[in-house]
A and B are shown apart, each in its own frame.
Chain A
């Protein structure tokens, strides 16, 4: 199962909130001049923050609770920037029942406007089940 593609944007304000939660001191994540001085073309999106893109993507399935994240893999192929528009899709790449629990691999991919893959995040989840809403 795969979601449709949705527009994804990380705003400067969201990056500021994320870096405050993370306790990051580097000014490149909050100050445009500092970012440009260090060779970035804008305020960069922190690497693992890409996972909040889920908020922009309507999944054609629902995972029954409780949902538990047991492993996470993230790959950053290109640095993303604040206030730029990307596209994101999510798919369930594999699932199986073991010990009366559903084990799922849920994969987020984010592409830039030139369709270059920027980020890939594979979440290894345990859930009560998958309820399919519709398929693409």
Chain B
């Protein structure tokens, strides 16, 4: 099993919002996110996926173009949080669990 960490910054979230044109205020407006029961602005799920894919594509040649991937977002990833990935590879399937230092997130 391999462990790798990544962080989602405010700049990452703004960059992904511009690129995808996904301006859902839950990602960009602290007050709005708090009003809907969250601790603050959170990363786009697909930004978290981009980060995970980036790490795996750097680490594992087979992850350059995976045939399919399934993700479950169990808890938000908030700005500035470190996510630790546990990566297990078996029979052409890579299983990754991401755990936030404060709280928990899984794919």
Contacts and interface: CB of A to CB of B under 8 A. Distances in A.
B6 A69 contact: no
Nearest to B68: A75
B83 to A, nearest CB: 13
Interface string B1-42: 000001000001001100111101110000000001000000
The residue among B6, B54, B72 with the most chain A CB atoms within 10 A of its own CB is B54
Given A66-B26, A72-B45, A23 B65 contact: no
Contact of B6 (A23, A25, A70, A73): A23
Interface stretch (A1-9, A47-55, A87-95, A109-117): A47-55
B20 A24 contact: no
B64 A26 contact: yes
A36 interface: no
Contacts, number: 99
The residue among B50, B58, B71 with the most chain A CB atoms within 10 A of its own CB is B50
A91 B90 CA distance: 34
A79 B19 CA distance: 20
Contact of A76 (B36, B67, B72): B67
Contact of A71 (B26, B54, B57, B71): B71
Interface of B: 6, 12, 15-16, 19-22, 24-26, 36, 44-47, 49-51, 53-55, 57-58, 64-73
Given A14-B19, A47-B65, 12 more contacts: A21-B54, A22-B50, A25-B58, A26-B57, A48-B46, A48-B50, A48-B53, A65-B26, A72-B49, A72-B71, A73-B69, A75-B67
Interface of A: 14, 17-26, 28, 44, 46-49, 51-52, 54-55, 65-76, 79
